[in-house]
Chain A
Amino acid sequence: MNLSTLLAQIINGLQTGSIYALVALGYSMVYGIILLLNFAHGDIIMVGAYVVYYSITRFAFHPLLAVLLAVAASVALGVTVEKVAYTPLRSAPRLSLLITAIGVSFLLENGAQMIFGADTKSMDPIVPGSVAIGSVTISYAAIITIAVSVISMFILTRLVNSTKMGKAMRAVSEDMGAAQLMGISLNKTISFTFAVGSALAGIGSVLYLCAYPQASPTMGSMLGIKAFIAAVLGGIGSIPGAMLGGFIIGLLESLISAVHLSMWKDAVVFVVLIVVLLLKPTGILGHKVQEKV
């Protein structure tokens, strides 16, 4: 393998990695705040992808408008799922919540199959073209994906660290009861967390379509699971952890493809999950979670 192939694969890895990272952030934030593994998160990306697909192919909207619509649809769907399915279970055992999340995931996948059909919808590349730097060709899609992800993560970090809502999110994730007693509204804060996570999923769905311009009802499940593994690898509940985990999984996949073992890449990612769970269940940047009494 020569150097330019390696570089090209690294850029590939960063491109997929940044999509994983954006999706992993949604998993991690929701887990951080209500200790729920939101398995419906991946399917929100699928819905976002269909919105982009129909906006561009059917209605011939400008891609930027399609992006806005996808983000808006993802946020609306994410918050609706939270209000309808998860809020009534807030004081229920965590297992009920987890099973509900799996149920919502099936509902979305099968609902999409009914509405959009089971076939894969392909479209023309949203961002065609590439640029050659020396012997390495980089697609514009890769550049846009990496740039958009980095900007989104920067904004998210600011949001969490220096806004009133961000502080409330951190407070609720540490101690829901104490936060309420300090006058922080749980409903508002949790819905906001879902909205932000879903917005990132919406952005992720567009970037995913830039890389693989096709939508199918089950596209969210594998992407969701990979992002979940990224979140666990980085330390679930940790925002920088989710970003780091996403990039590591993305790079790992493309480097495995680079040594012509692409058939093995899913297997390797799952092995990573098993190894992390065995050796460091809290992930790279995760804290040890204290059981709440």
Chain B
Amino acid sequence: MADRQHGKLYPLPSQNMVLERDLGKMPVLECRRLGINFGGLAAVSEFDLGIGPTEITGLIGPNGAGKTTVFNLLTKVYEPTTGSILLNGKDTAKMSTIELNKAGIARTFQNIRLFKNMSVEDNVKVAMDHSIHCGLGTALFRLPRYWKEESDAHERAMDLLGIFGLQGMANAKAGSLPYGAQRRLEIVRALATNPSLLLLDEPAAGMNPAETSELMEVISHIRDEFQIAILLIEHDMNLVMGICDGIAVLNFGRIIAKGTPEDIQNNPAVIEAYLGRKKEAKS
């Protein structure tokens, strides 16, 4: 990954930065002065971020900086107090969580939230809702159309599971999978909803270095294969610096720096707020 060339970032009219290869295309996500208060405490404020349609963006920052809160705002788990979110140019103010998912945002969770008592394959299929059309009667009486759709869904689920080599575990209960595999299955399940923006909340948490570097390959592969944008929260700096095109650094709910990995690594404010502190802790 070290030989990877990071693209340059260019400013949009909205002051948000975008990748060279995404220039001239509509950003998949634009947050404008997004903010939320919890009883007077501004958990996130004046959050501006643009993400190009094929960009991998890292959202980093110390614990409690508000990173997961941003994800919860983007998926309408929380209603923003201020600002707006544009998804593919459309204002999402009136959309519910479900409508946002249908419009193209899918996510994973910091604490894994799979449907643990369902099989691995069913976890993927339940997220593929939009691709199964046959009605109840057809499914109950197992008419030919049911088998056709069932085999299509099975094939698609297997293809998606194949991204992480999880096909062999398709019939296992999701809750019985090893931790790393559960994290990977969450990504597959999110992909099954056919997103244009994939939000990954600490995808490498609890993974060993070998697993993490494999995960990096797969995240890049997902972006290339599905041509989607990815926003990820991560504490593993190798991963973030290795695969992200752009990085936003959050501290106390505010963005303190934005730019390419090189910009961020050399930014004194970031080093002070985040990387510097981490070095001290390590020594």
Contact = CB atoms under 8 A, between A and B. Distances in A.
Interface of A: 155, 158-159, 162-165, 167-168, 170-171, 174-175, 177-186, 287
Q: Give the most central of A162, A163, A164: most B CB within 10 Å.
A: A164
Contacts of B129: 164, 168, 182-184
A178 B190 CA distance: 10
B68 interface: no
Given A178-B114, A180-B98, 11 more contacts: A155-B140, A163-B136, A164-B139, A170-B126, A174-B118, A175-B113, A178-B113, A179-B126, A180-B101, A183-B101, A183-B102
Contacts of B122: 167, 170
A36 B139 CA distance: 28
B140 A182 contact: no
Contact of B126 (A159, A180, A184): A184
Interface residues of B, number: 31
Nearest to A186: B98
Contacts of A178: 109, 113-115
B71 to A, nearest CB: 10
Contacts, number: 75
Nearest to A170: B118
A170 B117 contact: yes
A175 B115 contact: yes
B148 interface: no
A165 B98 CA distance: 16
A171 B114 CA distance: 9
A183 B116 contact: no
B76 to A, nearest CB: 9
A184 B98 contact: yes
B137 to A, nearest CB: 10
B196 interface: no
A78 B142 CA distance: 27
B184 interface: no
Contacts of A167: 118, 122, 125-126
8 contacts: A158-B139, A164-B129, A164-B132, A171-B118, A180-B98, A181-B101, A182-B126, A186-B98
B181 interface: no
B130 interface: yes
B127 interface: yes
A174 B122 CA distance: 13
Contacts of A159: 136, 139-140
B131 to A, nearest CB: 10
A197 to B, nearest CB: 15
Contacts of A170: 115, 117-118, 122, 126
A168 B126 contact: yes
B106 interface: yes
B126 A171 contact: yes
Give me the 8 closest cross-chain CB pairs, A-B, nearest first.
A183-B101, A163-B139, A178-B113, A167-B126, A182-B127, A174-B115, A180-B97, A171-B126
Q: Give the most central of A180, A183, A185, A186: most B CB within 10 Å.
A: A183
Interface string B44-64: 000000000000000000000
Contacts of B251: none
Contacts of B97: 180-181
